[in-house]
Chain A
Amino acid sequence: MPMTTDSTPYSGKNLPAGSPNPPDRPVPVAGESLGREAWRRLKQNKAAMASLWLLMAITLACLVGPYLLPWGLAEVDWNAFNVPPTLEGDHYLGTDANGRDLLARTLHGGRVSLSVALVATLVSLVIGVLYGAIAGYLGGRTDNLMMRFVDIMYSLPFMFLVILLMVVFGRNILLIYAAIGAVEWLDMARIVRGQTLALKRREFVEAAHALGVSDRAIVMRHMIPNAIGPVIVYVTLTVPKVILLESFLSFLGLGVQEPLTSWGVLISEGSDMMESAPWMLLVPSVFLALTLFCLNFLGDGLRDALDPRTR
């Protein structure tokens, strides 16, 4: 008795919500109309739009803010250790145990956290989408082998892999990006493969085949664009995951090197002081929580906007 939707035993596993079901009807090849339609629908979603604006505001603050502040990232104020937030001096959000301005560090930390998230997600996106689309499209033995490899990667404890990568490559921030991305692509590959498998049997792909369009062109022009909806949704899920993973690594002491910092590092430092210096925990936590909130609402909004069946 066949147990799964297709002949291989891989489908249906580990797919996050909203992705595995094949689209009801062939979506026209990614055109402006699809994007415009989605954008129109997204604009109607107030929570998603508010999140989008707030997210942009936070990003902007992290990018520009540090240039406007009186204190730098590594600058020590020898007269102000552990100062609580105040409007009187120029440490508006207080200082840390080393006398460094917390607002400056939080904004700088945001740059690191956001860029870690962005780059790691991009790495996982590129690997995952290509891998999944190729496996799904080629099918048969190749697909079997490729998904076997994904299975093997899944069976390795995630933390073990990440720690090993961090240890082997040192704490170079670029390598942190790559390391996290290199481990995060598995889900993405599965999703894309599932979508591709479903799309492959649709008329328009078969038509393209019959017309003699090359495999490469079919994957690039038909498969990937059509799988884009679930992929975008999954991206908005991956970004928060990566930010939290970075903070967990910081808790283990495997975070970025001083004097660089990140929200994860700041929160982990602050959590030790939550009773005596609560601001050290609160300031970075608020930034992190707001960002994650926004990403999640935006993700939900995008999912709704991109799903052809929902109104």
Chain B
Amino acid sequence: MLTYTLKRLLMAIPTLWIVITLSFFLMRIAPGGPFDGERKLPPEIEANLMAAYHLDESLPMQYLRYMGNLLQGDFGPSFKYKDFSVTELIAQGFPVSLELGFWAILLALLIGLPLGVIAAIRRNSAVDYAVMGTALAGIAVPNFVIAPILALVFGVLLAWLPAGGWNGGAWQNMVLPVIALAIQQIAYLARMMRASMIEVLGSHFIRTARAKGLSETKVILHHALRPALLPVLSYLGPAIAGIITGSVVIEQIFGIPGIGRYFVQAALNRDYTLVMGTVVFYGALIVLLNLVVDLLYSALDPQIRYDD
């Protein structure tokens, strides 16, 4: 298993290299530069800026310079937030996104999975429709609508919780953003769990288990749940990567210092170094999470070892 893990990690290096190279050149194709803004800068000032950030060099030269720095672990300074390096920005923002994302995923699993199981057992009944209908409401309303409604109702009108701000990660400040983040995931997980549960419940070995006279609860908990979780697990890998890297909507509306906004803003601001930083970080995270999912997968599914 260790050799397998190492092999996978080694294989990630060329993947990341291509990702970095691709992003580097893609970013430069986009019109506009990091210093185009509301006001046209006098040419001499623009020249100073280009020189200071080595943008006056040829593109291949810039690429080599960037890769050289990257190999030394230097992501460079942000073009926009000048008192911070890209590393500092990600190091400061990621723990926040991670914490928020962790609670959101936990909440989504705790609510979404049971809902899906219940709906699957009572398939096509009123219960099923009610459960799925409610869960679907989470998908049907964009989160840039849900988040301000939550802030308005619980922050302003009822005044139970803060309407925004992070406040060092106090739980009060976390409740609304976590809910806003989780709602969509609850809906996805419930749907997925329902579908895969239905599939498992229709399979041979469950019929055998039932035939043996096991109680329905036992059948579901001991036999059906584990295989039904497999597709959910595959979904969770990339989904977790998406959630713990933050959400620009939630962060902007609740004023949360996560990294989600960098993925969008850095690209819109043409903050080249920050864009590259987020790309490298995200790519590495995906590689890591996929590995974890595969390892978990083999732990959950004994069949995998017999195959081939």
**In the complex they form, do A and B come into direct contact, defined as C-beta atoms under 8 angstroms apart?**
yes
Known: A2-B304, A160-B23, A247-B144. 19 other contacts (CB 8 A): A3-B294, A13-B294, A15-B231, A17-B235, A18-B199, A148-B15, A152-B18, A155-B286, A159-B267, A160-B263, A163-B268, A164-B26, A167-B32, A240-B139, A271-B145, A288-B140, A297-B132, A304-B198, A311-B202
**Known interface pairs A4-B304, A5-B308, A168-B31; A14-B235 also in contact (CB < 8 Å):** yes
Q: List residues of chain B with CB within 8 A of the CB of A14.
A: 234-235, 237-238
Check if A222 is an interface residue, CB within 8 A of chain B. no
B290 & A13 in contact (Cβ 8 Å cutoff): yes
Check if A244 is an interface residue, CB within 8 A of chain B. yes
Q: List residues of chain B with CB within 8 A of the CB of A12.
A: 230, 234, 294, 297, 304
How many residues in A have their beta carbons less than 8 Å from beta carbons of B? 61
| Interface 1/0 per residue, A134-172 and B, CB below 8 Å | 000000000000001001101111111001100110000
Q: Which of B192, B267, B298 contacts A16 (CB 8 A)?
A: B192
B129 & A251 in contact (Cβ 8 Å cutoff): no
Q: List residues of chain A with CB within 8 A of the CB of B267.
A: 159-160, 163-164, 167
B198 & A1 in contact (Cβ 8 Å cutoff): no
Closest residue on chain B to residue A275 by CB atoms: B152
Q: How far is the CA of A293 from the CA of B138 in the complex (A)?
A: 10
**Known interface pairs A1-B305, A4-B294, A281-B145; A152-B139 also in contact (CB < 8 Å):** no
Check if A21 is an interface residue, CB within 8 A of chain B. yes
A160 & B142 in contact (Cβ 8 Å cutoff): no
Q: Main secondary structure on chain B at its contact with chain A?
A: helix
Q: List residues of chain A with CB within 8 A of the CB of B295.
A: 3
B142 & A248 in contact (Cβ 8 Å cutoff): yes
B149 & A156 in contact (Cβ 8 Å cutoff): no
Q: How far is the CA of A309 from the CA of B201 in the complex (A)?
A: 10
Q: List residues of chain A with CB within 8 A of the CB of B132.
A: 296-297, 300
Q: Main secondary structure on chain A at its contact with chain B?
A: helix
Q: List residues of chain B with CB within 8 A of the CB of A309.
A: 199, 202-203
Q: List residues of chain B with CB within 8 A of the CB of A13.
A: 234, 237, 290, 293-294
B195 & A156 in contact (Cβ 8 Å cutoff): no
Which residues of chain A from 1 to 38 have a CB within 8 Å of any chain B CB? 1-7, 9, 12-21
Interface stretch among B56-64, B79-87, B274-282?
B274-282
Q: How far is the CA of A278 from the CA of B304 in the complex (A)?
A: 54
A17 & B231 in contact (Cβ 8 Å cutoff): yes
B234 & A300 in contact (Cβ 8 Å cutoff): no
Q: Which of A9, A159, A296 contacts B191 (CB 8 A)?
A: A296
Q: How far is the CA of A164 from the CA of B278 in the complex (A)?
A: 14
A47 & B22 in contact (Cβ 8 Å cutoff): no
Q: List residues of chain A with CB within 8 A of the CB of B15.
A: 148, 151-152, 155
Q: List residues of chain B with CB within 8 A of the CB of A304.
A: 198
Q: How far is the CA of A244 from the CA of B196 in the complex (A)?
A: 24
Q: List residues of chain A with CB within 8 A of the CB of B290.
A: 13
| Interface 1/0 per residue, B257-268 and A, CB below 8 Å | 000000110011
A296 & B231 in contact (Cβ 8 Å cutoff): no
Q: How far is the CB of B73 from chain A (nearest CB, A)?
A: 19
Check if B232 is an interface residue, CB within 8 A of chain A. yes
Check if A132 is an interface residue, CB within 8 A of chain B. no
Q: Which of A5, A156, A281 contacts B304 (CB 8 A)?
A: A5
Q: List residues of chain B with CB within 8 A of the CB of A296.
A: 132, 136, 139, 191
Q: How far is the CA of A9 from the CA of B237 in the complex (A)?
A: 15
B199 & A159 in contact (Cβ 8 Å cutoff): no
B30 & A168 in contact (Cβ 8 Å cutoff): yes
B275 & A160 in contact (Cβ 8 Å cutoff): yes
